[in-house]
Structure 1
Amino acid sequence: MNQLDALKQFTTVVADTGDFKQLGAYLPQDATTNPSLILKAVQKADYAPLLKDTVNQFRGRPLDEIMDRLLVRFGCEILNIIPGRVSTEVDARLSFNTEATVARGERLIELYQAQGVHTDRVLIKVASTWEGIQAAAQLERKGIHTNLTLLFSFCQAVACGQAKVQLISPFVGRIYDWYKKSAGAAWVEADNTLANDPGVKSVTAIYNYYKKFGIQTEVMGASFRNVGQITALAGCDLLTISPELLASLAASEAPLAPALSAQAAQALDLQHVSYDEKSFRLAMNEDAMATEKLAEGIRGFCVDAVKLDQLLLGA
């Protein structure tokens, strides 16, 4: 049995791509997209007609509506291939605007429903800012499920659990990147792999905390740099993996056993914590890595959203 099939026995495998024509090869349960992945996809010849067709159909409508319709168009194509859920992201430029995030989330769901897609098959992806987490709490109360992304810290995860969001996406690779860059010449790769990888340690701590205290929010490790990070989190609720790393897993016959266990987590001696806005902001401020990576991630998605706007205007 290859590692991908082995992983699927104890973790839900999710494909992290806008390139839906690749999905059939790996048979993931769910799929995630983001502005950068959609931007990458629409610049390929295979997907350019999809962008042009969406623009032609809704020409004259507000640009933000056309973008949402394009995102939903990709989401619907993905849902035709996978059995589970697709994550569709709210414009990152709204990351600090609770009301606007709620409104965009509602519109995305309405657009999916107009295409005959049931609400349960869509996760609205929102940045894990304080404002984003509050927006997600409101959406969840309306029966709209959410995926909290750009999550780098324990306090973000705790706040998401308090908000009863459906799912969180802690970013393994970007945490690893920060610590590696921060250490510079002092970084020893061999000392920071598998269970010692700083990104893996972060997700493990979140997973154990959720399972210890019966928090229902699903944990989906994201943003992987290598197969070792994935295998070190085998047993996590879900893992969202790029097509390149899915191919690496499928090509390997190395044995794979669960690294995380809900049962083991329940036996741990952990302290229950909670955050209000003031303590959340202080905890984020104390975590240089999380503060920098959240800001950088939002900036990056904003840049790609602007590029996507330009492509829509030029189509």
Structure 2
Amino acid sequence: MATLLEQLRGYTKVVADSGDINSIEKFKPQDSTTNPSLIAAAAEMPAYQSIVDDVLKQARKDAGSSASDKDVATLAFKSLAVAFGKKILNIVPGRVSTEVDARLSYDTEKTKAQARDIIAQYDKAGISRDRVLIKIASTWEGIKAAEALELEGIHCNLTLLFGLHQAIACAEAKVTLVSPFVGRILDWYKKDTGKDYVGADDPGVQSVTTIYNYYKKFGYKTVVMGASFRNIGEIKELAGCDLLTIAPKLLAELDATEGDLPRKLDPAASEKMDIKKLTIDKATFDKMHAEDRMAHDKLKEGIEGFSKALEDLEKLLAKRLSEISEPATTH
């Protein structure tokens, strides 16, 4: 009998949620996605020290000798994310997602500027824009930045997505892809209610199912990539979703498990559903976001978490930079 992973690949694009190139080589996903936490974890692995060092040396050169280690490290982060992205694109046949600095999540103009800077680095390396997704948090400002970027041919992955209001705003902005966070939604409900949830009762599973059905019912081109899984039960319930981004540990579990994996999400079924169409302007978005405690809490927490991971990574890079910098010669 085929493994669950083999069956899942029959109707869902499987994406690796990792910055670890060895894991990506092992599971051969269609696409891969990274974030500051994953890049930081990979940057600490001895196997990738040469990538980190090369990026830091180039950043030092670009920043000039008067720049502080902290400034060089800040400059190096974007280049490091692209360096890992380029390595990953040598392995996966599809796309890689590279994240904009989460600290810019409420600044449309700065988000656009950094996205263009990231794409320019991929362009310079001769990598087609069709193989890169710029990852942006699903704030109203982030969604508006993505809307403008898509018109420039820069494809976006809207992350930290927890509520239907975020998903609809993204679809109306014609973004390429959204990443609703299944496990983080489950975490919030478990903490809030003190209950455990399994299978189709999992609130994270229900959220992605609702978004998927809404998109297919109304013919949106934006695709849904379920993310942030806590167990393979959640993945099984979302079999048929456009894409699922899965950590190496859960990919290994799916690959080692046999059994029947029925398709749960299907566009033909979505089209027949009775779903009310909503229009999301900024006032509606803000109102729905304020009323959805879970989405409000998890978006805020997610941005803070990614920002902290970025600060930790910059500290790690500054420390590494001081280790590899040649001592000044004295005369």
* Aligned-partner Cα distance in 2 for 1:35–1:239: 19
- Where do 1:161-310 residues align within 5 Å? 161-184=171-194, 187=195, 189=196, 192-310=197-315
The alignment partner of 1:14 has SS state of strand
Matches within 5 A, 1:33-72: 33-60=34-61, 61=63, 63=72, 64-72=74-82
The amino acid of 1:76's aligned partner reads K
Tell me the alpha carbon deviations over residues 104-133 of structure 1, each in whole angstroms, 9 at most, x when there is no partner. Answer: 000100001111110000000000000000
The structure 2 residue matched to 1:136, chosen from 132, 146, 149, is 146
Report the 3-state secondary structure (helix = DSSP H, G, I; strand = E; otherwise coil) of the residue aligned with 1:46.
helix
Cα distance in 1 between the residues matched to 2:254 and 2:25: 15
Quote how far apart the aligned CAs of 1:76 are.
Answer: 0.2
**Offset from partner CA, 1:177-214 (integer Å, 9 cap, x none):** 00001112xx1x3xx21111100000000000000000
Per-residue deviation at 1:58? 2.2
Moved more, 45-54 or 219-228: 45-54
Tell me the equivalent position of 1:14: 15
2:118 corresponds to which residue?
A: 108
What's the CA shift string for 1:138-170, capped at 9, x where partnerless? 100100000000000000000000100000000
Query: Which SS does the other structure have where 2:60 is aligned?
Result: coil
Structure 1 residue 296 displacement after superposition: 0.3
1:44 Cα deviation after fit = 1.2
Q: Distance in 1 between matches of 2:259 and 2:101?
A: 40
Question: Which letter maps to 2:205?
Answer: V
Query: What is the CA distance between 1:65 and its match in structure 2?
Result: 3.2
| Alignment partner of 1:94 out of 104, 110, 117 | 104
1:301 Cα deviation (Å)? Answer: 0.5
Which consecutive residues of structure 1, in runs of 5 or more, have no partner in the other structure? Answer: none
CA distance in 2, matches of 1:39, 1:274: 39
Using the alignment, how far apart are the partners of 1:58 and 1:161 within structure 2? Answer: 37
- 2:228 match: secondary structure: coil
Q: Which amino acid aligns with 1:106?
A: R
CA-CA distance at 1:310 after TM superposition = 1.3
1:149 is aligned to 2:159: yes
Task: Report the 3-state secondary structure (helix = DSSP H, G, I; strand = E; otherwise coil) of the residue aligned with 1:285.
Answer: helix
Report SS of the residue matched to 2:317.
Answer: helix
Tell me how far 1:49 sits from its aligned partner. 2.2
The alpha-carbon deviation at position 26 of structure 1 amounts to 1.0
- Range moving further from structure 2, 80-89 or 19-28: 19-28
CA shift digits 1:34-65 (9 cap, x unpaired): 01100111011111221111101220525443
Task: Give SS of 2:133's match.
Answer: strand
Q: How many residues align?
A: 310
Question: Secondary structure in 2 aligned to 1:87?
Answer: strand
Partners of 1:210 and 1:298 in 2: CA distance: 25
TM-score, length-scaled by structure 2? 0.92
State the SS of the aligned residue for 2:46: coil
Q: Secondary structure at the match of 2:94?
A: coil
State the Cα distance separating 1:27 from its structure 2 match. Answer: 1.2
Aligned to 1:25: 26
Aligned partner of 2:91 in structure 1 is: 81
Partners of 1:48 and 1:297 lie apart in 2 by 28
Partner of 2:325: none
TM-score of the aligned structures, taking structure 1 as reference length? 0.97
Give the RMSD, CA atoms, in angstroms.
Answer: 0.9
Q: Residues 1-54 of structure 1, C-alpha deviation per residue, up to 9 Å, x if partnerless?
A: 101010000000000000011112111000000011001110111112211111
| Distance of 1:176 and 1:48 partners within structure 2 | 35
Task: For 2:318, give the aligned amino acid.
Answer: L
Which deviates more from structure 2 when the two are superposed, residues 61-70 or residues 15-24? 61-70
- SS of the aligned residue for 2:97 comes to strand
- In the TM superposition, structure 1's runs of 4+ consecutive aligned residues that sit over 4 Å from their partners are none
Which blocks of at least 5 consecutive residues in structure 2 are unaligned? 64-70, 322-331
